[in-house]
Amino acid sequence: MKAAISKGFTFIEVVTVVAILGIISALVLAAINPGRRVASARDADRVTGVKQIKTAIDSYQALHNYPPSCDGQTSCPMDFEITGTDFLSTILKNGDFLKTVPPSPATPSAGICKYHAYLYLKSQNKYWLSFCLEGWSKSQVESLPDNDGIGGGSPEGTGRYWCYFSDADGVAVCWVGIQYEIPPL
């Protein structure tokens, strides 16, 4: 009598292959870290947007010898979200320094990650823009060379950058303006 020849895989072989494929795909997914990649992409969008706004403000300043200011407004300094219809956006769009205001990318920490402007009197000759970098860790902020922002506070000092890490929101918050530059990604 002839022995039956098996033409397929046993159940154990199939389960073993599926388990191995599952482990490999989990390792690949962990290595790729799609959440971090999406956050890095939003950071790149933010930096591009802030550069556009900063360039428009710097162009305004080159023409007028001072940045947009809160002179004549009800409060000064002014702190507000840059939305496209705010005081600063109107000045920059009406003066043809900026065609459209780049929107802040949506994030889990939406409030702290929206673009904000801080305007002062003309005589103070300064402004600040703030934005977040959600793909940055606390150690990246602390290792940024020439950073005056470690520990928070107000943007003052003589450094090149001003960023701090918001433990509550899990993001880095950076300010740029007359003195401080946008940190390299």
Mind listing the pLDDT tens digit for each residue in 152-176? 777 777 888 889 888 888 888 888 9
Q: Has residue 20 been placed in a domain?
A: no
pLDDT tens track for 88-118: 999 999 999 999 988 888 766 656 788 888 8
The answer to whether the pTM exceeds 0.75 is yes
Q: Is residue 14 part of a domain?
A: no
Whether residue 182 is contained in a domain is answered as no
Residue 89 lies in a domain: yes
What's the domain count of the chain?
Answer: 1
Task: State yes or no: cis peptide before 108, omega within 30 of 0.
Answer: no
DSSP string across 20-38: HHHHHHHHHHHHH-HHHHH
Which range among 70-79, 107-116, 133-142, 167-176 shows the weakest confidence by mean pLDDT?
Answer: 107-116
- Per the prediction, the chain carries an average pLDDT of 84
Q: Is residue 6 one of the residues assigned to a domain?
A: no
Q: Average the pLDDT over 8-37 and give the result.
A: 83
- Is 141 within a domain? yes
CA distance 152 to 85: 29
pLDDT of residue 83: 87
Domain, as residue range, for 101: 34-177
Domain membership of residue 15 (yes or no) is: no
